[in-house]
Structures are given as structure tokens and as C-alpha cells.
Amino acid sequence: MVINPDECIDCALCEPECPANAIFSEDEVPSGQEEFLKINEELSAVWPNITEKKDALPDYEKWDGVKGKIQYLER
């Protein structure tokens, strides 16, 4: 999931909804994860908008906290 920075109104309602605690406001992105700002902007232009809440993927706990998983990102 990505968030379109041009459409985000900085309400922070999405942050507590993320089961992996992976959503941060732009000025609070953890050190070493700045590359995700560019990826987020790029993919938000091509991925569809989510218009309703969805359940977390069944294996999200397996992937939560795994380092180096960006290699699996499909563009």
C-alpha cells in the first residue's frame, strides 16, 4: 500500500490503522527509510486508490519487521 502525497491531508488517521506500524508522517520517516518517500510517490501515481477498509493479508505477521524485503516489490 502507498499513500498519494498529493491527496493526503495529513490527518494521520491511517497511521494507527496499519497493522505493521509502517506508516509515518513525511517528517517522521525513520532514518534509513527515506528511499520509501520516492517509492511511495512513484507507486501512488499508478496503483489504484483504496476506497474501503480491507483485512490485512493472511501472512502479514510473517513479513512484519523483515529486513530487505524491498527486493520483492513488484513495479
CA torsion angle 31 8 65 68 (round to 10): -70
52-62 pLDDT, tens digit per residue, is 888 888 998 89
Q: Is residue 38 part of a domain?
A: yes
The number of distinct structural domains making up the chain is 1
Q: Is residue 45 part of a domain?
A: yes
- Note the Cα 66 to chain centre separation in Å: 15
Smallest Cα–Cα separation from 5: which of 47, 45, 54, 52? 45
- Distance, in Å, from the CA atom of 59 to the CA atom of 25, rounded to the nearest integer, reads 25
Instruction: Determine the residue type at 6.
Output: D
pTM of the model: 0.75
Q: Is residue 3 part of a domain?
A: no
Question: In terms of residue numbers, what domain contains 50?
Answer: 15-72
11-23 pLDDT, tens digit per residue, is 999 888 887 888 9
Q: Is residue 10 part of a domain?
A: no
For the domain that residue 51 is a member of, what is the CATH number? 3.30.70.20
Q: Is residue 7 part of a domain?
A: no
